[in-house]
Amino acid sequence: GAGVSQSPRYKVAKRGQDVALRCDPISGHVSLFWYQQALGQGPEFLTYFQNEAQLDKSGLPSDRFFAERPEGSVSTLKIQRTQQEDSAVYLCASSHRTGWDGYTFGSGTRLTVV
């Protein structure tokens, strides 16, 4: 597609519920990133994929967070047993190569845990 697509755009979850957030990167993009943006803050790195390999997951805040990209294209970020502090905008970004080029962000999924 023309850009990075994320779905759903908005998600309301009850505390304790599991959620899955989807990211469709730009076709052919090798690198894929997930970021978490709390209200009024800058995005914070969660995890990085190069093709299907998860090379860096140092930013995942707890073992309730899990990400996958099984075929090197679409990625899913899963959050188990959601807590109120998980409320944030989750951003996905992709890049066509691994160089220092900046990358294209999706519009994000706004997760609200009630």
Partner 1 sequence: GNSVTQMEGPVTLSEEAFLTINCTYTATGYPSLFWYVQYPGEGLQLLLKATKADDKGSNKGFEATYRKETTSFHLEKGSVQVSDSAVYFCALSGGYNKLIFGAGTRLAVHP
- The contact set with partner 1 (CB under 8 A) reads 4, 31, 33, 35, 40-45, 48, 50, 55-56, 59, 91, 93, 95, 98-100, 102-108
- Smallest distance from partner 1 to CB 45, Å: 4
Determine the 3-state secondary structure of 85 from DSSP. Answer: helix
Q: Which is nearer to partner 1, 17 or 22 (CB)?
A: 22
- Smallest distance from partner 1 to CB 81, Å: 26
Q: Which is nearer to partner 1, 6 or 82 (CB)?
A: 6
Parallel/antiparallel/unpaired status of strands 19-24 and 75-79: antiparallel
Buried b (16+ CB within 10 A) or exposed e, 59-90: ebeeeebebebeeebebebebeebeeebbbbb
